[in-house]
Amino acid sequence: MDKNILIMCTGNSCRSIIGEALINKELQNVKAYSCGVNPSGKVNPHAKKVLEINGAWDENYHSKHLDEIIDIDFDLVVTVCDNAKETCPIFPKKTKTIHVGFDDPDTKEFNAFKETYMLIKENLLKEVKEQLNL
């Protein structure tokens, strides 16, 4: 049975989208989703580009609020920014919530997105595997 995981940040335009895409690409039997506590309504073009270069982009990825996916039964929720950690809602069932923070590359050049991609790949995937016993 697949495990459902939610990656949350503030704007859902960079870090959480990259996390969602990497988990969906790299981990078997896991379906990742992402959302923002205050979604920007767009995916940062640099985030999209770094995912395309690494074969992880899917046209279905978009910036969204938790309300769009609240009915999904999540096995794990991961906040990737301090603001999301502080404002993370309580989920209907006792969903495990952890924090794995990353600096926001949103206003930076493309190289910052490549670095963020690698940090998420190295740190977030490792933590998700440990938390889900994969």
Tens of pLDDT, residues 63-121: 999 889 988 999 999 999 876 667 666 666 778 889 999 999 999 999 999 999 999 99
Q: d(Cα 9, Cα 36) in Å, to the nearest integer?
A: 5
Please give the tally of structural domains in the chain.
1
Q: d(Cα 125, Cα 29) in Å, to the nearest integer?
A: 13
Mean pLDDT of 53-62: 96
Inside any domain, residue 38: yes
Predicted model pTM? 0.92
Inside any domain, residue 134: no
b (16+ CB within 10 A) / e for 27-60 = beebebbbbbbebeeebbebbbebbeebebbeee
| Beta-carbon contacts of residue 122 (< 8 Å; ≥ 6 apart) | none
Inside any domain, residue 132: no
pLDDT for the residue numbered 85:
64
Q: Say which CATH number the domain at 65 has.
A: 3.40.50.2300
Q: Does the pLDDT value for residue 5 go beyond 80?
A: yes
| Beta-carbon contacts of residue 85 (< 8 Å; ≥ 6 apart) | 79, 99, 101
Give 12-53 pLDDT, tens digit per residue. Answer: 999 999 999 999 999 999 999 999 988 999 999 999 999 999
| Beta-carbon contacts of residue 20 (< 8 Å; ≥ 6 apart) | 7, 32, 33, 34, 61
pLDDT for the residue numbered 23:
97
Parent domain of 7: 3-127
Quote the distance between the C-alpha of residue 12 and its chain's center. Answer: 8
Q: Indicate which residues carry an active-site annotation.
A: 9, 81, 88
pLDDT for the residue numbered 91:
66
Angle between the N-to-C axes of helices 45-53 and 110-119, in degrees from 0 to 180, rounded to the nearest 10: 60
pLDDT for the residue numbered 81:
82
Q: d(Cα 8, Cα 78) in Å, to the nearest integer?
A: 6
